[in-house]
Chains A and B, each alone.
Chain A
Amino acid sequence: MKRVIAVLLVGVLGFFIYSNLYSTGNGNLFPKFGEAKLSERVSNKFIKKSVNGNESEVIYNQTKDAESGSANMVTSIVVNYRSFDTLGEVTVLFVSALGVGLLLSGKSRMKFKTPPNFILRSAVRVIAGIILITGVYIFIHGHLTPGGGFPGGSMIASAVLLFYISDDEFKTKVKAFKFLEGTAGSLYLIFGLLGLSLGGYFLYNFLPTGVVGNLFSAGIVPIIYIFVGLKVGSELSNLISDFLSEEGK
């Protein structure tokens, strides 16, 4: 009975969404898939890097001092135009890692039922280092290539997870990670406050943005992404170690 009502409810909801979203009539309609008109959206100016009025074309490896000089436009939105959201996002992860730590504050490590075998152990020794370095590479190049602080940080955490799986005795130093997390978070905010005192705006990009496409470009964007990467990496590692902990015996 309950299922029938649920099916009916979901059906009504689906019909409600469908009939209103793809309706025809006066006014601006919801654009059909593939027909998004960028010229009517705020993101048009993000792509052209012309929020502050400079309409000239941005050319890879040539344009100097473009606003938010990051070649990856998603990064320029995430860490520059809408950096305040990212600060909030980092805080979300911070607070949920904190909550998991508060709830599962076991001292000793959970043991697996089957001990890790030889293949796993030796494979992890080889690939963990590669994963770590790739993670760092990804968040340092976040303003040039796809990726950035969040994927890079999760890669670092996945290396930590591999260590946990491959070694029954392995346990991270939670305190060190907490310290790293706190430092990275505070530095993010201190950079924001520096922008407030130097440029008059919180999270203002106060460094020169350089030539689009160079490693040393985009001002504070790569610096912030390094903080984000370190913070996400340490927070997710803390999550893993909290989930694999149990009350001491």
Chain B
Amino acid sequence: MINPVLLIAIPLLFAFLSVMFKKADKGFLILGILFNLISAFFLKETEVIIGGWKPPFGINLVADQYSIFGLIILNIVFAFSVVSSLPSVKKYSTLLLVSLASLNGMLLTGDLFNLFVFLEIASISAYIMSTMTKKYKGTFNYIILGALGSNLYLLGIIFLYSTVGTLNMSDMASKLHLVNNNVLLLSITFIFAGFAVEAKLIPFNGWVKGVYGNANDLNGGIFASAYATAAIMVFGRLFTNVFTLDGTLKTILLAVTVSTFIFGEIAAFSQKNIRSTLAFSSVGQAGLIATLFLTGITGGAMMQVANNAFAKLVMFTIAGAMYVYTGTDNVEKLQGLFKKHKLIGFGFSIAALSLVGLPIFYGFYVKIFALTNLFKINSYWLPAFILFSSLIEGIYYIRMLVKLWNPGEEGKESKDEYTTKLSLENTFAYAVLAVIIGLFIIYISVNPEFITQGISNYLSNIPGGM
């Protein structure tokens, strides 16, 4: 039995210690990640309070099946992306520990203001991590939009606090029916807008291309898998458990999320570089998951969170590594890369195909699950949009895979210039990562129950869950 607060306190303690003992910082990083990875698996359903003050007065941490599911995925992908890209860590180990602690805190906390604090820690660490590739303009856009979003979120929760006088999530959920409709509309709009920045929804995703599109092997994996998981899971908790939507507001917010995934997939289609394609694909996935959460298909959304986290971890890490070692990630220049590096290609392709939702892969199972449930609630235009965007997604991913596997016609100029720069010893860690995650995705494609088990346990406890 592990106290969930340790998942936040131990990495933070190691972060402070690693500033004092500069030489051992990598050791502290590995220790902290290992501790979190192991404890996430041993977490039991529980609720702890901080400082001995019972909620709603004090802050509580909620470890239910939902957050445990998120924590396990989060800590796995974080550990994998750090371990496979250790050479890129350099001076950033303290920062990684802090961001690990804050992401865990975001998923665990049961208090709206505490969520704001953890959100800020996580986004400030993300700002700093995004400067790794020295593309400061993207970072600056991210800071401005992120700060705007968190201020809007803060304003939203303050409106609610001064109306019903509480900050605790479950207490808020029980008092929400007391609030005047107009005040509630305003607060939910602001909270949604604030979260839309981190969850990459339209119109607040202008930063995504500058940050994700310039990621290296380390921060690409962390942003696209760990941060995306935490942000969208918290979004799901807020808009399924705390703020229940209905009427016009629900339609408007659904329009936002639906247009996000259509925009994301179409924008991804027109990109030439691997990382920017993946960046917009992340936007599309975030829109898809948010839509599923808003329509109440929590199970499908959580399964897609897992699918997206593992797939994007492999793809972004490899795309970042391509950029770091070859200096480019343009699909044309890297033609035939996977022919030389088959193991990497194997993991990358499996991940891409599962994300697209090709039959026999895990993603297919998820999409079928989501679509059947959408039909059950008599919604027909949403499945149409989802199928349309899946089609676009399938086209650009398969086009990318074909180019990366096929070196082109004989006699044309050789592309060896770029592919040889990625030598065997450089790619070893990435190949291991690609194979492990690739095999894992195949495993869950055969046994989807492995992931859905925990979800169905959780869903059986909430009313109306599917």
Contacts and interface: CB of A to CB of B under 8 A. Distances in A.
A186 B9 contact: no
Contacts of A87: 12
Contacts of B165: 37, 40-43
Nearest to A199: B52
Given A25-B181, A27-B180, A178 B162 contact: no
A101 to B, nearest CB: 9
A88 interface: yes
Residues of A contacting B: mostly: helix
A143 to B, nearest CB: 15
Interface stretch (A15-23, A56-64, A162-170, A240-248): A15-23
Given A28-B178, A81-B53, A92-B124, A189 B12 contact: yes
B113 interface: yes
A46 interface: yes
A190 B13 CA distance: 8
Contact of A99 (B15, B19, B128, B178): B128
B24 interface: no
B49 A201 contact: yes
B183 A103 contact: no
A27 B181 contact: yes
Interface residues of A, number: 61
A42 B167 CA distance: 8
B256 interface: no
A94 B50 contact: no
B128 A28 contact: no
A210 B65 CA distance: 42
B59 A42 contact: no
A84 B55 CA distance: 13
A51 B56 CA distance: 10
A195 B52 CA distance: 10
B58 interface: yes
A45 B57 CA distance: 8
Interface string A66-104: 000000000000001111110111011011101100110
Contact of B118 (A88, A178, A192): A88
A85 B52 contact: no
A45 B179 CA distance: 22
A21 B179 contact: no
A230 interface: no
Interface stretch (B92-100, B237-245, B288-296, B371-379): B92-100
Interface string B155-192: 00001011111111000000001111111011001000
Contacts of B102: 88, 91
Interface in A152-190: 178-179, 181-183, 185-186, 189-190
Nearest to A202: B5
A1 interface: no
A88 B105 contact: yes
B179 A27 contact: yes
B127 interface: yes
A28 B51 contact: no
Given A45-B57, A186-B16, A189-B9, A201 B180 contact: no
Contacts of B105: 88
Given A51-B57, A85-B113, A96-B124, A205 B52 contact: yes
Contacts of A193: 9, 13
Given A95-B95, A186-B13, A186-B16, A28 B58 contact: no
B114 interface: yes
Contacts of A37: 165
A29 B163 contact: yes
A26 interface: yes
Contact of A29 (B17, B92, B177, B180): B180
A51 B54 contact: yes
B183 A20 contact: yes
B117 A85 contact: yes
Contacts of B163: 28-31
A183 to B, nearest CB: 7
Contacts of B326: none
B19 A181 contact: yes
Counting from the closest, the 8 A-B pairs by CB-CB distance are A41-B165, A182-B20, A88-B117, A99-B128, A185-B16, A27-B180, A20-B186, A182-B19
26 contacts: A16-B186, A20-B182, A21-B183, A28-B178, A28-B183, A30-B159, A30-B180, A37-B165, A41-B166, A42-B167, A51-B54, A81-B57, A84-B51, A88-B118, A88-B121, A91-B12, A94-B15, A94-B98, A182-B19, A185-B12, A185-B16, A186-B16, A192-B9, A193-B9, A204-B51, A205-B52
